[in-house]
Amino acid sequence: MMKKYLLLAFSLLFGLSQSQIIRKYSNEFLNIGAGARGLAMGGAVITNQDDVYSPMWNPAGLMSIERDWQGAAMHAEYFESIAKYDYLAYAKVLEEGVFGVSVVRLGVDNILNTTQMIDSEGNIDYDKITKFSQSDYAAILSYAFRPGGNPKLDVGVNAKIVYRNVGKFASGYGFGFDVGAIYKADNGWKFGGMVRDITTTVNFWSINQKELSTVVNGEEFNPAPKDKLELTMPKLNVGASKLFEINSSVYVLPEAGINVDFAKTASLISSDFASISPYAGAELGYQKMIFVRLGINRFQSITDIEDLKRKVSFQPSAGLGIRYRGLTLDYAITNSGIGGSNFYSNFFSLKLDMGAFRND
């Protein structure tokens, strides 16, 4: 019986891939990350994001929350405030682990809708121009625990529901899972990894053909896409870090690792099976109150449009942070990476740690 189920699952996946619904870039807004700390470090927080922001990097990091609960909020704007990115999260320590819930939104508002501007006879009527919004939402439920009570190993799981809306034209729902782990060695090193969309994330689309298309002189423009189902393929992020104490007040925390996309992309190492890109980042802390951060990631091999020569591009990032008792304010400046853009954006994030307040 099990063999039949495995064959059925393989046949289904093979059939889906043959119908070209596996997307190289799907639900990319969930790969941006959250929290100015992680963004300033170039995503080099797979092993050391130890707070309520960790579900976006590695849900196993939730286990570092030791008391009470944490809440967080982040806001950023891209392309001269055209696109807005928001994140809200809450994490609560339970008896056997830590539970978290996160909400993410990336949206563009006031987009001009010109699909009905030209009538069936070719006449232009500017009064028929309307506006709509395109928004991506995700709700993420997270849980972190220590298997068998092992203090060296933290494991975390995300269950996520995705809703994407393109005005009256289309809407889509998706669901999937992420799994992450962090191992703490005796010598102070931490090794961690996260598999995003480990079972693939399935997205179901509903298309409004009437709103999307325009018929002019008997010819249809903007036909609806044929595929109404897409799969988001898994991604793997792995890294290693170690805390170095300079003295009783100053420390340096570096991390380095690789990001693996199971598709052919513009990464430095790329094949039909997988593409690999390195990342690195570091945090300099003073009395665990003031923080300076640097990062670098998104190494790609691109072609210069002027001389048509291949060159290597990368995305640097930087940021600052300040903590007072249980309140932390972080800032980062980095490239969003959306659509291969070169626009740098400012990120501000706030974290409230009720356990630290009560401990102080």
> According to the model, what pLDDT value does residue 57 have?
96
> According to the model, what pLDDT value does residue 339 have?
45
> According to the model, what pLDDT value does residue 5 have?
33
Residue 1 lies in a domain: no
**Which string of DSSP letters, residue by residue, matches 158-220?**
EEEEEEEEETTTEEEEEEEEEEEEEEE-TTSEEEEEEEETTT-EEEEEEE-HHHH-EEETTEE
**Number of separate domains in the chain:** 1
CATH of the domain at 55: 2.40.160.60
User: Cβ contacts of residue 225 below 8 Å, gap of 6+?
Assistant: 205, 207
pLDDT tens, the chain, 360 aa long: 333 333 333 333 334 343 446 565 677 888 888 999 999 999 999 999 999 999 999 999 999 998 899 999 999 887 667 888 999 999 999 989 999 999 999 988 777 777 667 766 667 767 777 777 788 999 999 999 999 999 999 999 999 999 998 887 888 899 999 999 999 999 999 999 999 999 888 888 887 776 666 544 445 555 555 657 788 889 999 999 999 999 999 999 999 999 998 877 777 777 878 889 999 999 999 999 999 999 999 887 776 666 566 677 788 999 999 999 899 999 999 875 544 455 678 899 999 998 776 665
> According to the model, what pLDDT value does residue 222 have?
55
> According to the model, what pLDDT value does residue 116 have?
66
Nearest to 155 by CA among 208, 96, 218: 96
Residue 2 lies in a domain: no
> According to the model, what pLDDT value does residue 269 have?
79
Residue 336 lies in a domain: yes
Residue 293 lies in a domain: yes
Residue 318 lies in a domain: yes
> According to the model, what pLDDT value does residue 7 have?
35
Residue 288: domain span: 20-356
**What predicted TM-score, i.e. pTM, was given to this entire model?**
0.83
Residue 315 lies in a domain: yes
* The Cα angle at residue 41 between residues 40 and 44, in degrees rounded to 5: 145
Residue 323 lies in a domain: yes
> According to the model, what pLDDT value does residue 304 have?
63
